Chains A and B, each alone.
Chain A
Amino acid sequence: MSDTAPAQEEFREYCRRWLEENRPPPTETPLPQAAYEVTYDDHRSYLCDWQAKCYEAELIATDVPTEYGGHGHDGFQAIASAEVRRAKVPYFINWIGLGMTAPTLLIHGTEEQKKRFLKPIFTGEEIWCQGFSEPGAGSDLVSLSTSAVKDGDNWVINGSKVWTSLGALASWMLLLARNDKDDKYNGITYFLAPMDTEGVTVQPIHKMTGESGFNEVFLENVVIPDHFRVDEVGAGWKVAMSTLTSERGAAAGVGAVASSESPLTAVLQVIELAKNTRRNGQPVWDDPVWRDRIVKLYERTEASMQNARRARIKSLNGGAMRMPLQGKLVGSEIGQELNEVALGILAMRSSLYVGDPNAEADGKWALGYMNTYTGTISGGSSEIQRNILGERVLGLPKTK
């Protein structure tokens, strides 16, 4: 980068060298494609060790102040995260802790909360999950009904949460609960909930892939002390909105890397697949219809990367929210189409799934295709994202 300072160049060099020298050996059975799919204990301990090592090496919490367990640099985290992605090393298992809890606490947490919770997030000692969605509150999240009733210095929680990734491995949950039934937006409070408390039951849910990445969590008379409340009573919706924005924006601030495969890597793999797969005696890549579809996805992938670059330039980004709010929507839809194209290239071979000895890349394209629905549905479905963009960025009338 011609515009980066020598100190940053030096740090980049250090990251590259460290990642090259400390690349962990492969696991016995392959890791799931993304951090939110992890369910097995051997994968958990392998990934926690790896995250701890990366924290020690200052690749995580690089720019966080030292009093909160960070490394106190300025402007280095983006470099570290970029190098982690580039090196194709395992992802960081505690992506919810890094991507949501830490940014939220840095903005809304008390001094005690920051001192208590941040460091174990960075090291991976305490894994976090997110308790927002409920069986009756998905896209219309604000209609959530899990209740929080004040009882002296404690809160008593009753209800259930669903689609809880890492729920079976987590020691803490970001919890939204309703303290006031009559005030839809100002009647929600934000808590840090210990998962080992009496009354918490975690039940795995199997996804269409057969993996059990997420869970339903039942909360029955769960007692949470008031000092685990984040921000004011009734401020939960406001805090949650800032957490959801963190999924894209501030997440980069502490080094969350939830997937070890960059979108560009994926599209280059599809190009390779098209070159190496034959149809009618010639590579699929030589078929102009397929090639056009693939190159269009390559073009859109490059556009997403350039969007991320432009988002940081105030005079060119069309406002603070316009580019960041498109990131997840566009990225997940391109990824879905890319995987679908891969299945088309494989033709009948796309039927061979994980574990079949004849499957291409151990069935990863079929698995990956199904898992892309995680991106287009979770964290606000594509339909909700379009509402938000239309309303907040273009000023169109609100759906509700």
Chain B
Amino acid sequence: MTQPRDFGFDEETGMLKDAAARFFDEKEMVVRLRPHLAGTEDPYRGNERAPWYDEAAWQEMKELGWNLLAVPESAGGIGMGLVAAVAIQEEIGRAACPTPLTGTLQATFLLREASLLGGAGADHALVKIAEGMSMALGIFGEEGSPELDATGVTVDGNRLTGTSWYVQDAGKADAFIIAARAEAGIGLYLVPRDSVTVAQDRIVDLSRDQGRVVLDGTEADVIAEPGEGEAVLARALPAILTLIAADMAGAAEWQLQATAEYAKVRTQFDRPIGFFQAVKHPIVNMMIAADETRSLVYNAACAYDHEPEDALRCALLAKSSASDTASFCSNRSTQLHGGIGFTWEADVQIYHKRQMHNQFLFGDGAWQRQKLAELL
């Protein structure tokens, strides 16, 4: 199979992206987030930060059908591809929006792969997503290394025991897909939120939450049997990496535009600082980095939809680029904003932290390039 030249970005997808851009622009998610951060600033004496997301906005997203966008039609969804999901996720990143949609989109593609490999439990879970349930993935162990078989959870029959680490937006999800180990290998399981304990992590990033899902003989629905989970995760990995990279591409574009705008209005030595090439050129370098990532993200999404045999390579390229771009654009956005960029009040810090978080999620640039080298 080969890819369409236009990345599969048809009119419908274009309209979806425009709608998402308008939606998040109107919502001003960072403005809405701010009151929930008040009083939590001081890492030593501040209040604990509660997971927050705009529930009314999530309801609206569901009414717009974004939660079931990539759920197959047979499970009650719209049946669109990764290109469409990426269009939305890029806008979520540009808005630095805390939302259960991020995890739910990742879960959707994992469940699609599990369904293709014959898991009836996966079909059932996809129906639940279509009905409005949000989900988050619990794959990793305590060490925080991005191996897909690093779970510390064990399974006996359909009962899970142990702790699943680094679960993204754990405080928002209605249910979790947990990777657990048995003799035969890794299996994947669905557990509802009310049957587990979620312990919130204290994290740097303010635009999401993260937690540990603690299981103690917890009953679970089977998504993939032990020994089948490895294949499902491997096949879902390109979609997950691409979605995260899309979020980062969106955030990088925000960092670029915000820094360019600041350089036009901030005056020193009687000129806007963007006049000086020591400021102008690094901003252009931010654009170059952001554009490389964005192009690789669309390519990866299109490969997943149209050329699955090349999907892994393309996704590794996208996340490799996104991780380095995130690091670079974050660094420059704070530096070029000067003193104000270093403050809690400036929005650049919110994006900087979101990018730092995503940079390492599922592996940083060097990690992706090690995996890429194996394909070359």
Contacts and interface: CB of A to CB of B under 8 A. Distances in A.
B254 interface: no
4 pairs of A and B residues whose beta carbons are closest in the complex = A306-B295, A303-B292, A396-B274, A295-B369
A291 B368 CA distance: 12
A389 interface: yes
A27 interface: no
Nearest to A318: B291
Given A309-B5, A329-B288, A390 B372 contact: no
Given A390-B281, A397-B272, A310 B298 contact: yes
Interface in B267-311: 271-272, 274-275, 277, 280-281, 283-285, 287-288, 291-296, 298-299, 306
Contacts of B293: 303
Contacts of A386: 277, 280-281, 284-285
Contact of A390 (B7, B280, B366, B373): B280
Nearest to A307: B295
A389 B282 CA distance: 11
Contacts of B17: 315
Nearest to A385: B284
B320 A296 contact: yes
B4 A1 contact: yes
A399 B275 contact: yes
Q: Could you say which interface size class chain B belongs to?
A: 35 or more
B216 to A, nearest CB: 41
Contacts of B366: 292
B22 interface: no
Contact of A309 (B271, B283, B299): B299
B295 A397 contact: no
Interface string B358-376: 0000000110011011001
Contacts of B284: 386, 389-390, 394
Which residue, A2, A312, A316, A390, has most C-beta atoms of chain B within 10 A?
Answer: A390
A298 B294 CA distance: 16
Interface in A272-321: 285, 288, 291-292, 295-296, 298-300, 302-304, 306-307, 309-310, 312-313, 315-316, 318
A295 B165 CA distance: 30
Contact of B296 (A296, A302, A398): A302
Interface residues of A, number: 44
Nearest to A310: B295
Contacts of B285: 386
Contacts of A300: 292, 321
B153 interface: no
B372 A298 contact: yes
Given A291-B373, A309-B295, 19 more contacts: A2-B2, A3-B5, A271-B376, A285-B373, A291-B370, A300-B321, A303-B291, A303-B292, A313-B9, A318-B291, A323-B291, A330-B292, A386-B280, A390-B284, A391-B280, A395-B264, A396-B272, A396-B274, A396-B283
A386 B295 CA distance: 20
B282 to A, nearest CB: 9
A334 to B, nearest CB: 10
Contact of B7 (A288, A309, A396, A397): A309
A396 B291 contact: no
Contacts of B321: 299-300, 303
B14 interface: yes
A2 B295 contact: no
A143 interface: no
Contacts of A326: 287-288, 291
A2 B6 CA distance: 11
B283 A394 contact: yes
A198 interface: no
A400 to B, nearest CB: 10
A307 to B, nearest CB: 5
B6 A3 contact: yes
B298 A316 contact: yes
B206 interface: no
B137 interface: no
A140 to B, nearest CB: 14
A107 B90 CA distance: 38
Given A307-B291, A386-B284, A397 B274 contact: yes
A187 to B, nearest CB: 26
Contacts of A318: 291
A345 to B, nearest CB: 15
A393 interface: yes
A383 interface: yes
A387 B320 contact: no
B295 A303 contact: yes
B372 A295 contact: yes
A395 B292 CA distance: 20
A296 B327 CA distance: 15
Contacts of A390: 274, 280-281, 283-284
Interface string A362-400: 000000000000000000000100110111011111110
